[in-house]
Amino acid sequence: MKKLNSIRELHPCFGAKNNRGRMHLPVCPGCNIFCRFCERSINKDEDRPGVAAKVITPEAACEYVERALKFCPDITVVGIAGPGDTLATDNAIKTFKLIGEKFPALLKCMSTNGLLLKERLPDILDVGIDTLTVTVNAIDPYIEAQLNDGIIYHGKRIMGEAGAEILINNQLAGIQAAAETGMTIKVNTVLVNEINRFHIKDIAKAVSERGAAIYNIIPLIPQHKLRDLSVPGCIDIETVRHEAGKYIDVFRHCQHCRADAVGVPGKNNFSRQVYLGELQSR
């Protein structure tokens, strides 16, 4: 497991500058929670999280990494961030194992909603994940239930605040347990002005106390059941970043990438070439 200083030099989403690239492997189509703003999609046009040109198998992943390194030798990180959740199936863990054996120099970065983080931590450590991102949108079940309809937990569907409470407890316990192993953890929060705007500082404080190192606030893309809500503006985002910054280091350069992004964030994207075999860069 790499330490925060070397991660800050190598990972574009943990502070690295100088053209560091990352590649997302879309190996996880399904999810175990029901975020009310989530619209997963398979297409090659939309530039947002939850979208990939296709879903690939863990066994095919190494081939795509080889292809991506030809288009973008600056890639230092292989990440799995959807389109669904990385722990809802075994696909992500299997993929990281194969990638670790073939490309030991690449950082392994995983994003999860955290529902199963604590119970899958032994597997996560076993495959040597270097950086972990956990999305925490509220630490109050009443607020979380407005953002998320429910969860599927150990085969049971648990809706409303009851599900939200389990999710929040598991997220915070998972962050703490992972941080205690020395893992570098970033927390993402989707900012929804009408729902969690005045709650962001509480989330930042709680996750910092559990050992998270970096905080990333992502403005809502209004879609699915929250399609009628507003897009947070620059002033909203700056205000909550300032509030959160009292408790934790705030990351300000997130590009809200696709689940199959390939390249240097904000500079280039070779998803179509790598996953669809197209020739032109975007």
Per CB under 6 A, residues contacting ligand SF4 are 13, 22, 31, 33-35, 38, 40, 50, 81-82, 84-85, 113, 216, 254-257, 265
| Structural contact between residues 179 and 118, judged by C-beta atoms closer than 8 angstroms | no
Amino acid making up residue 139: I
Q: Rounded to 5 degrees, what angle do the CA atoms 34, 117, 189 make?
A: 55
For the chain, helix (H) and strand (E) counts, in that order, are 10, 13
Cβ of residue 40: shortest distance to ligand SF4, in angstroms?
6
Cβ of residue 257: shortest distance to ligand SF4, in angstroms?
3
DSSP β-bridge partners for residue 148: 35
Tell me whether residue 22 or residue 272 sits nearer to ligand SF4 (CB atom).
22
37: phi then psi, degrees, rounded to nearest 5: -105, 5
Cβ of residue 113: shortest distance to ligand SF4, in angstroms?
4
Tell me whether residue 78 or residue 121 sits nearer to ligand SF4 (CB atom).
78
Tell me whether residue 81 or residue 206 sits nearer to ligand SF4 (CB atom).
81
The whole-angstrom separation of Cα 117 and Cα 137 is 16
Enclosing H/E stretch for 69: helix 61-71
The whole-angstrom separation of Cα 121 and Cα 178 is 7
Tell me whether residue 180 or residue 214 sits nearer to ligand SF4 (CB atom).
214
Amino acid making up residue 38: C
Cβ of residue 258: shortest distance to ligand SF4, in angstroms?
8
Cβ of residue 179: shortest distance to ligand SF4, in angstroms?
18
Tell me whether residue 54 or residue 101 sits nearer to ligand SF4 (CB atom).
54
